[in-house]
């Protein structure tokens, strides 16, 4: 009899992962899988989704097959679970032929608890035939939003995953995602044939993340200010739209003495792996990545996510910002955008090969993204509301809540902007229209004769910066549309007529001055209570010991070419530095210390703690 036949999910949670209690829904999902049920769950990033299939993988006979599109994340996930004593491997486009053959043999012989595989490999005829030769305990479909063609990261291979229920009708399946609106959730259930699955929808709020949106003025200066003023020396991810811009921003940061590396599909495999490992294993590194190329990173201490361009959808935005603050400590989601970003998204939708229904859905998603940016309401309320979750009171942790917002009756101002666009022929961009409204005496305006129009110079009560905000809000309200067929000129839509004729009022959000406070970069890590530098039990937090433990952890990780957090999370080291365990038995009670890690690293860290206690005479009260 296998030892796992005698273990309960709680036993596995403590033995392998070092935790005493499950998070919401985890235990119910795990027990449901073990009894043979299919599952569909939406749980926010950092809520412990992976545990929902990792524990059944240990308890059930056979191999759990994890289908994941995030190739960059597979190595990190496998390294992490191997440190826990779980037998795991991955197969994707980066796997060498010899390695892949060895992994397949291990699966056939039953030596793997978890096998991560990319969807492109899974759906080949050869691999589907291979699956018939191994004992499969469970199919886990991660990032399940990719199944839906309306999802924010459409992958054609995912559309075929419904075949698994036909080929393996008796094997349970769990589909997991962190972000999916109601339409996408229904699409996932239909595509994966999960109509009879148990459905779990947990809260999506990440209260430790602060949300900030700014108008794009000078993106490099704005980014530099974010990093230097609010996150000096802290790890972060910067998202850009194109590969060239990714390389450009990374180089710009390096010139300003900020360690930064680019990450996109245009880099060769070795360079991508090198940059990823530097980011995961280093301290205070910035990675600059393309939005189009999904970078799955499990690093828990990312302190900020910066978007330098408008994401395509709120699903994209939520998923990418969810990489920040997975350790529960304060983190920031920062975004800057301008009308050019809107024009680019419109062009992508208009020139896509999708049918009209697909384009209609994408425009709806783009409108929601714009609405989030230009809303005068709490960012978190708007974001959660999009996913069908209601936050009763403003969060107090976004730029709107912190700085406040003022709205005015902007009907006359909107009429001036709309009239200017109309009378100049609906063929000019925002900057030109602002020059006309401000009555600037420039040759281009005179050549077109626009200095003779009634709208010339009628907008001098506002600055150029304020007019840019007006035009962004008019585009967000769908009163104006960027016409990419006419070099980005702004055209009126039928929706603007009630405001233009004075039948409806237009509330204008006034341009505000951002009051972003600099945070102390020398934070203490979270303890068991979830409060910085505190724990639930008696004892004083010893910051100097924590730094020594971090140094030891770094050396252990470096020798194994692993990210430091794979050894122990900061929260575990914080508890070491508070409870000061003096034996393996005492250390076993620390959150995050499972049996395998205790055997591998326990004595090493105990020695550091004992030395510290001796140096500081902390045995006197024993």
Residue 135: its H or E element: none
User: Could you give the residue ranges of the DSSP H alpha helices within 260-355?
Assistant: 269-281, 314-321, 339-350
- ∠ at Cα 344 (340, 347), nearest 5°? 135
pTM, full prediction = 0.73
What pLDDT, on the 0 to 100 scale, is given for residue 114? Answer: 97
Rounded-to-integer distance, Cα 563 and Cα 512, Å: 41
Give mean pLDDT, residues 570-576: 91
Give mean pLDDT, residues 500-525: 64
Rounded-to-integer distance, Cα 357 and Cα 369, Å: 19
Closest CA to 178 of 309, 67, 323: 323
Please give the torsion angle defined by the CA atoms of residues 144, 150, 152 and 157, in that order, rounded to the nearest 10 degrees: 50
| Position 445 pLDDT exceeds 70 | yes
Percentage of residues in the chain with pLDDT exceeding 90? Answer: 55
**Termini Cα distance of the chain:** 44
Rounded-to-integer distance, Cα 288 and Cα 239, Å: 6
User: Which two structure tokens, joined as six digits, stand for 121?
Assistant: 């490999």
- Is 292 in contact with 244 (CB distance < 8 Å)? no
Q: Which residues contact 270 (CB under 8 A, 6 or more apart)?
A: none
How many residues make up the chain in this entry?
A: 622
User: Which two structure tokens, joined as six digits, stand for 531?
Assistant: 């409060």
Q: Helix 464-476 vs helix 430-437: angle between axes, to the nearest 10 degrees?
A: 130
Beta-strand relationship, 507-509 and 407-409: antiparallel
Q: Which residues contact 126 (CB under 8 A, 6 or more apart)?
A: none
Q: Which residues contact 356 (CB under 8 A, 6 or more apart)?
A: none
Q: Which residues contact 508 (CB under 8 A, 6 or more apart)?
A: 407, 408, 409, 410, 413, 414, 470, 473
**In angstroms, what is the C-alpha Rg of the chain?**
27
Give mean pLDDT, residues 334-340: 89
- Is 403 in contact with 396 (CB distance < 8 Å)? no
Q: Give the Cβ contact number of residue 559 at 10 Å.
A: 8
What pLDDT, on the 0 to 100 scale, is given for residue 374? Answer: 82
151-173 pLDDT, tens digit per residue, is 555 667 778 888 899 999 999 99
Q: Which residues contact 438 (CB under 8 A, 6 or more apart)?
A: 457, 459, 460, 464, 467
Please give the torsion angle defined by the CA atoms of residues 219, 324, 276 and 237, in that order, rounded to the nearest 10 degrees: 0
What pLDDT, on the 0 to 100 scale, is given for residue 476? Answer: 74
| Position 242 pLDDT exceeds 70 | yes
What is residue 113's DSSP assignment?
S
The full set of domains in the chain, from first to last, is 3-201 (3.40.50.300), 209-397 (3.40.50.300), 407-509 (1.10.10.10), 543-615 (1.10.150.80)
Residue 77: its H or E element: helix 71-83
Where residue 240 falls among pLDDT bands split at 50, 70, 90?
A: very high
Q: Which residues contact 59 (CB under 8 A, 6 or more apart)?
A: 4, 7, 9, 12, 34
Closest CA to 79 of 116, 119, 52: 116
What pLDDT, on the 0 to 100 scale, is given for residue 622? Answer: 45
What pLDDT, on the 0 to 100 scale, is given for residue 466? Answer: 87
What pLDDT, on the 0 to 100 scale, is given for residue 561? Answer: 85
Look at 489 and 166; give whichever has higher pLDDT.
166
What pLDDT, on the 0 to 100 scale, is given for residue 485? Answer: 63
SS3 1: coil
In which residue are the tokens 């491997």 written?
89
- Is 586 in contact with 615 (CB distance < 8 Å)? no
| Position 447 pLDDT exceeds 60 | yes
Lowest mean pLDDT among 4-13, 407-416, 519-528: 519-528
Where residue 366 falls among pLDDT bands split at 50, 70, 90?
A: confident
Name the average pLDDT for the chain. Answer: 87
What pLDDT, on the 0 to 100 scale, is given for residue 539? Answer: 66
Closest CA to 462 of 433, 429, 442: 433
| Position 36 pLDDT exceeds 90 | yes
Give mean pLDDT, residues 60-89: 89
Lowest mean pLDDT among 249-253, 272-276, 431-435, 588-592: 272-276
| Position 415 pLDDT exceeds 60 | yes
Please give the torsion angle defined by the CA atoms of residues 146, 150, 151 and 154, in that order, rounded to the nearest 10 degrees: 40
Give mean pLDDT, residues 435-453: 95
Look at 361 and 573; give whichever has higher pLDDT.
573
What is residue 226's DSSP assignment?
I
| Position 570 pLDDT exceeds 90 | no
Where residue 512 falls among pLDDT bands split at 50, 70, 90?
A: low
Closest CA to 238 of 288, 275, 300, 276: 288
What pLDDT, on the 0 to 100 scale, is given for residue 484? Answer: 60
Lowest mean pLDDT among 65-69, 148-152, 445-449, 609-613: 148-152
- Is 412 in contact with 224 (CB distance < 8 Å)? no
User: Which two structure tokens, joined as six digits, stand for 302?
Assistant: 């990312």
171-197 pLDDT, tens digit per residue, is 999 999 887 777 788 889 999 999 999
Rounded-to-integer distance, Cα 240 and Cα 482, Å: 21
Beta-strand relationship, 407-409 and 331-337: unpaired
In which residue are the tokens 């709107």 written?
400
What is residue 509's DSSP assignment?
E
- Is 82 in contact with 60 (CB distance < 8 Å)? no
User: Which two structure tokens, joined as six digits, stand for 610?
Assistant: 């004992």
Q: Which residues contact 452 (CB under 8 A, 6 or more apart)?
A: none
């Amino acid at each position: 009899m296998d030892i796992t036949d005698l273990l309960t999910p709680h036993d596995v949670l403590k033995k392998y992962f070092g935790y005493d209690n499950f998070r919401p829904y985890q235990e119910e999902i795990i027990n449901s899988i073990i009894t043979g049920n299919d599952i569909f769950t939406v749980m926010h990033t950092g809520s412990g989704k992976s545990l929902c299939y990792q524990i059944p993988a240990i308890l059930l006979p056979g191999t759990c097959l994890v289908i994941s599109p995030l190739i960059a994340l597979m190595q990190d996930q496998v390294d992490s679970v191997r440190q826990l004593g779980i037998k795991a491997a991955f197969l994707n486009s980066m796997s060498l032929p010899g390695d892949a053959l060895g992994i397949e043999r291990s699966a056939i012989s039953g030596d793997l608890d978890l096998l991560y595989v990319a969807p492109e490999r899974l759906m080949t005829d050869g691999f589907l035939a291979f699956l018939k030769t191994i004992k499969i305990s469970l199919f886990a479909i991660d990032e399940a939003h990719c199944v839906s063609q309306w999802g924010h990261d459409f992958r054609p291979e995912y559309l075929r995953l419904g075949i698994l229920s036909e080929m393996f009708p008796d094997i349970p399946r769990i589909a997991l995602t962190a972000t999916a609106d109601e339409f996408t959730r229904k699409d996932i259930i239909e595509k994966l044939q999960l109509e009879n699955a148990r459905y779990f929808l947990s809260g999506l709020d990440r209260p430790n993340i602060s949300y900030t949106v700014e108008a794009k003025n000078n993106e490099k200066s704005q980014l530099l200010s974010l990093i230097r003023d609010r996150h000096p020396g802290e790890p972060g991810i910067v998202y850009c739209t194109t590969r060239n811009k990714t390389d450009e921003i990374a180089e710009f940061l390096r010139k300003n003495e900020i360690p930064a590396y680019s990450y996109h599909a245009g880099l060769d495999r070795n360079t991508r792996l090198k940059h990823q490992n530097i980011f995961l294993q280093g301290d205070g590194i910035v990675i600059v990545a393309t939005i189009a190329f999904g970078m799955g990173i499990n690093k828990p201490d990312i302190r900020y996510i910066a978007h330098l361009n408008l994401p395509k959808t709120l699903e994209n935005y939520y998923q990418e910002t969810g990489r920040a603050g997975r350790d529960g400590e304060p983190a920031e989601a920062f975004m800057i955008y301008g009308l050019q970003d809107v024009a680019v998204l419109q062009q992508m939708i208009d020139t896509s090969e999708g049918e009209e229904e697909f384009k209609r859905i994408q425009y709806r998603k783009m409108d929601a993204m714009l609405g989030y940016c230009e809303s005068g309401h709490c960012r978190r309320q708007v974001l959660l509301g999009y996913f069908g979750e209601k936050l009763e009171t403003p969060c107090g942790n976004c730029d709107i809540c912190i700085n406040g917002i003022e709205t005015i009756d902007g009907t006359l101002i909107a009429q001036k902007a709309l009239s200017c666009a109309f009378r100049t022929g609906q063929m000019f961009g925002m900057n030109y229209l602002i020059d006309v409204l401000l009555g600037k005496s420039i040759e281009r305006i005179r050549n077109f004769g626009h200095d003779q129009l009634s709208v010339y110079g009628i907008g001098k009560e506002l600055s150029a910066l304020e007019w840019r905000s007006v035009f962004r809000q008019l585009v967000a309200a769908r009163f104006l549309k960027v016409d990419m067929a006419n070099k980005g000129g702004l055209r009126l839509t039928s929706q603007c007529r009630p405001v233009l004729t004075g039948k409806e009022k237009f509330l204008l959000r006034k341009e505000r001055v951002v009051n972003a406070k600099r945070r102390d970069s020398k934070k203490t890590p979270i303890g068991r209570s979830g409060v910085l530098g505190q724990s639930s039990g008696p004892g004083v937090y010893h910051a100097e010991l924590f730094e020594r433990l971090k140094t030891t952890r770094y050396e252990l990780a470096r020798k194994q070419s692993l990210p430091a957090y794979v050894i122990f999370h900061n929260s575990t080291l914080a508890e070491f530095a508070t409870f000061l365990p003096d034996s393996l038995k005492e250390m076993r009670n620390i959150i995050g210390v499972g049996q395998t890690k205790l055997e591998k690293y326990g004595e090493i860290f105990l020695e550091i703690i004992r030395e510290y206690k001796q140096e500081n005479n902390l045995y006197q009260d024993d």
